[in-house]
Amino acid sequence: MSYDKDYDVVHEALSQHVQLDKAEDQEALRSLAQRFSIRTFKEDDSLWELSTRTGQLHFILSGVFAEYLVDGRVPHILRFYPKNRFAYSEDLILYSTNPATYATCLVEARVASISASALAEYLVNEELGGKLLPSLIVLSMTEYRNTTYEMLQTGGIHRIHAAIEQFPDILYLIPRKQLADYLGISRASLFRSLKQIEND
């Protein structure tokens, strides 16, 4: 895929999260998309780390990432970032504090990224910028809420079905222990459920 096509994809994704009232808005958004840089990530590369000091807004063009929260020394998966999803550390982008999470590449990926400073400059100088960041915040919080609701409202096997539906390759991407932790069930329950799914 050419960089021009990548930028078109980023522009389209941004346009879905901000109200475009006039032609100048469309041009400003296209200008912002052109400021993203494209990079390839290999498996286990970090999108951001606990030691990262400068934030970036990322858009996943291909591949899959997982975001982890460390409890003591044990990492717990918070959420996944598949293709066509924005990804960023709220701590770095919104609060300029050290991140409490880190994000790792699970499958080789291409990512479009823009620095928090470049994004802040756009937010200050462009009228449209004031609409974009709140939309991304709402998007992030909605994803957290939906994931939490899904985990609270359904049994183990339904959670597995939902996870597989959202991320078909999830069973091949992460260790069973981490998957059980993410789904909020024991490994024994996970194996029983997977066996049942295989037999259905």
The confidence score (pLDDT) of residue 131 equals 67
Same-domain pairing of 132 and 43: yes
Same-domain pairing of 136 and 181: no
CA–centroid distance for 186 within its chain: 25
The confidence score (pLDDT) of residue 65 equals 92
**What's the maximum distance between 2 C-alpha atoms anywhere in the chain?**
58
Q: Using the predicted structure, report yes or no on whether residue 185 has a pLDDT greater than 70.
A: yes
Q: Using the predicted structure, report yes or no on whether residue 141 has a pLDDT greater than 70.
A: no
- Percent of the chain predicted with pLDDT > 70: 82
The confidence score (pLDDT) of residue 70 equals 86
The confidence score (pLDDT) of residue 108 equals 92
For the packed helices 156-166 and 187-199, what is the interaxial angle rounded to 10 degrees?
70
The answer to whether the beta carbons of residues 59 and 139 sit under 8 Å apart is no
Residue 120's contacts (CB-CB under 8 Å, 6 or more residues apart) are none
The rounded distance, in Å, linking the Cα atoms of 169 and 63 is: 11
Residue scoring higher pLDDT (132 or 196): 196
Same-domain pairing of 74 and 44: yes
Query: Average pLDDT of 173-193?
Result: 81
The confidence score (pLDDT) of residue 51 equals 94
Same-domain pairing of 170 and 131: no
Query: Average pLDDT of 168-181?
Result: 80
Same-domain pairing of 161 and 149: no
The rounded distance, in Å, linking the Cα atoms of 145 and 93 is: 20
The confidence score (pLDDT) of residue 130 equals 65
Same-domain pairing of 86 and 164: no
Query: Average pLDDT of 22-32?
Result: 80
pLDDT digits (tens, 9 = 90+) for 62-109: 998 999 988 888 888 888 888 888 998 988 887 788 899 999 999 899
Of 134, 153, 172, the last residue of a domain is 153
Tell me which residue range forms the domain holding 11.
Answer: 3-153
**CATH number, domain with residue 9:** 2.60.120.10
The rounded distance, in Å, linking the Cα atoms of 103 and 89 is: 9
Same-domain pairing of 101 and 119: yes
Same-domain pairing of 141 and 184: no
Domain count, the chain: 2
Instruction: Name the residue type at position 169.
Output: D
Same-domain pairing of 68 and 164: no
Most confident of 18-22, 32-36, 124-128, 137-141: 32-36
Query: To which residue do tokens 């462009």 refer?
Result: 126
Residue 84: CB atoms within 10 A of its CB come to 13
Instruction: Single out the residue of 143, 132, 40, 47 nearest to residue 94, CA to CA.
Output: 132
Same-domain pairing of 8 and 85: yes
pLDDT digits (tens, 9 = 90+) for 31-75: 889 999 999 999 999 999 999 999 999 999 999 899 998 888 888
Same-domain pairing of 78 and 18: yes
Average pLDDT, the chain: 81
Same-domain pairing of 100 and 199: no
